[in-house]
Amino acid sequence: MGKTCLVTGCAGFIGSHLTQTLLDEGHFVVGVDNFASGYAHNMDGFINHEQFAFYEKSITEPGLLAALKKLHPELDAVFQLAAVVSVPYSVEHPGLTMRVNFEANRDMLDAARKMGISRFVFAGSAAEYGEEGRLPVKEEYADKVEQLSPYGVAKYKSSAYIAESGYGCSLRFFNIFGPRQDPSSQYSGVISRFVDFGLAGKRMVIFGDGEQTRDFLYVSDVVTSYLLAAGLDGQGRGPLTGIYNIGTGNGRSVRELAIVIADLTSAPQEIDFRAERAGDIKHSRADVSKITAEGFRAEFSFEDGLACTVEWARNSQP
């Protein structure tokens, strides 16, 4: 039997994919977004779905969860994705970032626990690890480092609060990519920008020597991890508690990424190397042993995920 699930940030890149999958699997979804970084067109595939109810709200509104629970008494799962998602923006607006990315999450978690909602999943971030140099990165490393931005600090405080409460879980995602990631956005990752360059027939631009490595995770695998964490993956397990890294456990270089995307888009193979940017982390790769023990494994290969992303971007061009 389907559950009634709240997805905050449902108009975002990841939230829209999660919402669509929950609906496809027979759940009722209560969606919340204020379009600070999400887009209405990301909801085109489900906005009129009979099992979907949308509210244009901010998660900072007092009593939001109580009001939604009153409207939807069966609400029993919260996926808390809404956030200030830009690191540079967080540096310029640290107070707002703390209000949205920590305080609102804390308040929603406390409210959900008091209401007896059995599933609470928070979108953590690899930014919680700061400049951690040990690889692969284990969950406990975040407790011993200094986060590099208000964004990372607020995400870390939320994850720590969840862990201390013994209720709900935080999924620390590494480098997510896939369809609906906007290359023109300041929030966008390197893959969507490279795809944009490639489809325009431009050379890839790399800051630094291109040997930087990242743990790239396709968005469909992200959705799978959310369902597993909430105990909604059909495997009969209950919801998870605590903090979990979500990635592939494999590092890919930015140079390798540029070459593959140039090939997929028939773009020039020559790379435009530019000066390394201050603050960029050289290497990042998740230790995924903890979530693997719970049954998670990334299904999409790096190459297949890139091919799907390029195809979507090509079909989305005006």
- Residue ranges of alpha helices (H) inside the chain are 13-24, 64-71, 87-92, 94-98, 104-115, 150-165, 190-199, 219-229, 254-265, 289-292, 302-316
**Contact (Cβ atoms closer than 8 angstroms) between residue 38 and residue 17:** no
Q: Are the C-beta atoms of 259 and 153 separated by less than 8 Å?
A: no
39 classed as catalytic: no
Q: From the candidates 89, 151, 161, 244, give the one annotated as an active-site residue.
A: 151
Are 170 and 225 in contact by the 8 Å Cβ rule? The answer is no
Closest alpha carbon to 19 in 205, 227, 166: 227
Ranges of beta strands (E only) in 25-138 are 28-32, 52-55, 75-80, 119-125
3-state secondary structure of 128: helix
- Residue carrying structure tokens 């209560």: 30
Which residues are the active-site residues? 151
